[in-house]
Each structure stands twice: as structure tokens, then as C-alpha cells.
Amino acid sequence: MSNATCCSPVCDRPAEIRGLCKAHYKRQAAGQPIDTPVRNRRKADEPPASCAASGCGETARHRGLCSGHYQRLRSGLPLDGPLRAKRKNGVPPADCSFPDCGRPVAYSKLCKTHCECWRQGLPLIPIRDLKPRTGTCAAPDCDRAIWASGLCGAHYVRVYSGTTPDQPIRARRRKNEAAPPCSADDCDKLATGSHGWCGSHWVTKTGKGAEYSARRRARKFDGPHEHITAADYRAMRAATGDCYLCGEALADPVEFDHVIPLARGGRHLMVNIKPVHRHCNRVKAARLLPDIREEVMI
């Protein structure tokens, strides 16, 4: 057996394959340079070496470093940074570093909820306790029940989103409480939201009606379409006896619906328009027929 050593300039191991030791031969076969040292194997009776990083007493695993510092070396991070402390088996986890949290640490010295807020860039605020709270909200002029951190649900969401909690919130209507009347003059309908208007006046006041008409007009003439007159609609109504959605006889008021809605890519053509009841048209809206089979009897 030859006593030659590995031909790598940084290795004194005995040559085994083509003038190289086994480790450098594997590097050469993989296309890697052979002028870098390889990890020395520890003998059976030799104690493990310590990590070469300053202030680290862990056992060396790769290239004279422990697993944590070796991952830092591969990531290009400095080796003098602190590592995450490993918890021993049987030792309970520490508490979250957020004041008065008390939940166990999950990562980065924070509990699971606070760590998720930190990752998403949200402010770290007290989280809701599992035990029910009693009392009223601490926000001024609010008599709602406490949901978390001394605040009701609405004010807690405001604090969580970065809004000051001293601004008034929308008053919720009770389950059995009647809706207030519309604030528009000479209107006997009920308000549908916190704006104080009915649905029709809300569309008019906010300009949503003009916006919706313009968008619908653009969809109607964007592609192949037919010029359908009022006489065509009257002829279509006279030739049709039943609503194609519910199957019952047509009765006024009657509307004309696009079978494939314009918002879904349908065209303004005679073959795509059918007379329907107003109620059925409101139920269908901008949906397709398979989506409303359980709501209207087809």
C-alpha cells in the first residue's frame, strides 16, 4: 500500500483514489475546487471541539462552528450576533416579552399572536384574554361591554388599526328596533344604513346611479351588439307568456334581463334578452343561472 498523501495543497490525508483522499476526490467529481480544507473527522476517543465563534460554548458541527453559527455563516450574517436560546427538555417556555401578556414564547421572545402581528407590521397591543371580561368600555361616551383590553369590539379594532379611540362610532340598531325613516324630504321609505337614506336616495346622493349607468353603457357597446328599440321590447313581451326564471305567468311590472349578464361578458343581443318579473330580476342580479337555482324555481 502506498504511503503517498493527498495531492491537495491543504490536505495531509493519505491518498486513496487517483492521488486524492476520499473527501477531495468527491469534491473533484462534483466540480468543486480541491484547494479548500475539508472537515476533520473526530476519532472515537477524542472529545468534541467547541464552536469557534466568540462566546459560544456549543459543540462544533460544521467547519468548526455549531449548527446555529454555521447557518449564520451560510446566510452571510456576522458570527458575533446572538443566537436563539434553545429550551431544554422538560423546562417550561418563558413568558412573552410584551408587558402583561403572560403567554408562552413562540419565536423572537414573543407569543404566537404578538409574533404574527410583528411579522405583518401591525402594532403590538394587548390581545384578548380567554376569560370573559365584565364592565363597560373605557372609551369616552361608550357604554358597550368590554371585549378586550378594557375596550369594546369596535374601539379595540380602532386601536388595533392605529385610529384614535375617542372618535364616535356608528350606533348599531337593535335586533327588534325599527329602522329610522329616510332623511330625504317627502320620502316615506326606511333608511338602509348609517348614512340615513333609503337605497334610492343613497344612489342619487352619492352619484352611484350615474356611475352605474355609465359602466353599464360601456359594457353594452363594448363588442357585438344590436340596436333594440322599444317596439322590439313590446314584441318580445307579447310573444312571451311566462317568466323564464320562476316559470310563472308574467305580470306587471316586467323587466328585460340579460341571460348572461353584461358584467360576465354577455352581449346586448336579442337572443340574450328575456322578459322576467322585477323580483326575479333583482334576485338574479349579475349571476348566472346555475348560481340561483336554489333561490328561484326554474
Bridge partners, residue 238, by sequence: none
Residues 278, 263 share a domain? yes
Quote the pLDDT of residue 39.
Answer: 67
- Whether residue 30 is contained in a domain is answered as no
With H, G, I as helix, E, B as strand and everything else as coil, classify residue 119. helix
Q: Provide the residue-wise pLDDT of the chain in tens; the chain has 298 residues.
A: 467 888 888 888 888 888 888 888 888 888 888 887 776 666 667 777 788 787 777 777 777 788 888 888 877 777 776 666 666 777 777 888 888 787 888 776 788 777 777 776 777 777 655 455 567 887 777 888 877 767 787 777 777 666 666 666 666 666 677 778 888 888 888 887 656 778 777 777 766 667 777 777 888 888 888 888 888 888 998 999 898 888 889 888 888 898 888 888 888 898 999 999 888 888 888 888 887 766 655 4
- Whether residue 8 is contained in a domain is answered as no
- Whether residue 207 is contained in a domain is answered as yes
Return the closest-CA partner of residue 124 out of 151, 88, 162: 162
List CB contacts of 288: < 8 A, sequence separation 6 or more: 260, 261, 264
d(CA 61, CA 294): 65
- Whether residue 243 is contained in a domain is answered as yes
DSSP state, 190?
A: B
With H, G, I as helix, E, B as strand and everything else as coil, classify residue 148. strand
Residue 233: give the domain boundaries. 223-291
- Whether residue 58 is contained in a domain is answered as no
Q: How many CB atoms lie within 10 A of CB 126?
A: 16
Distance between the two ends of the chain, CA-based, in angstroms? 92
| Boundary residue ending a domain (193, 220, 247) | 220
Q: Based on the structure, what is the number of domains in the chain?
A: 2
Residues 215, 230 share a domain? no
- Extract the C-alpha cell encoding 161: 388599526
Residues 201, 229 share a domain? no
| Boundary residue ending a domain (171, 194, 220) | 220
| Boundary residue ending a domain (189, 220, 251) | 220
Quote the pLDDT of residue 130.
Answer: 46
With H, G, I as helix, E, B as strand and everything else as coil, classify residue 178. coil
Query: Taking CA 109 as the corner, what is the angle to CA 108 and CA 115, rounded to the nearest 5 degrees?
Result: 60
**CATH of residue 271:** 1.10.30.50
Residues 273, 228 share a domain? yes
Phi, psi of 277 (to 5 degrees): -70, 150
Residues 266, 231 share a domain? yes
Phi, psi of 59 (to 5 degrees): -75, 135
Residues 283, 234 share a domain? yes
Measure Cα distances from 150 to 97, 129, 144 in Å: 21, 11, 11
Residues 255, 236 share a domain? yes
**Under a CB-based contact definition with an 8 Å cutoff, are residues 133 and 148 in contact?**
yes
- Whether residue 230 is contained in a domain is answered as yes
- Whether residue 105 is contained in a domain is answered as no
Residues 189, 232 share a domain? no
Determine the length of the chain.
298
Amino acid letter for position 280 = C
DSSP state, 87?
A: P
Quote the pLDDT of residue 286.
Answer: 84
Residues 246, 215 share a domain? no
**Under a CB-based contact definition with an 8 Å cutoff, are residues 197 and 184 in contact?**
yes
Residues 279, 228 share a domain? yes
- Whether residue 54 is contained in a domain is answered as no
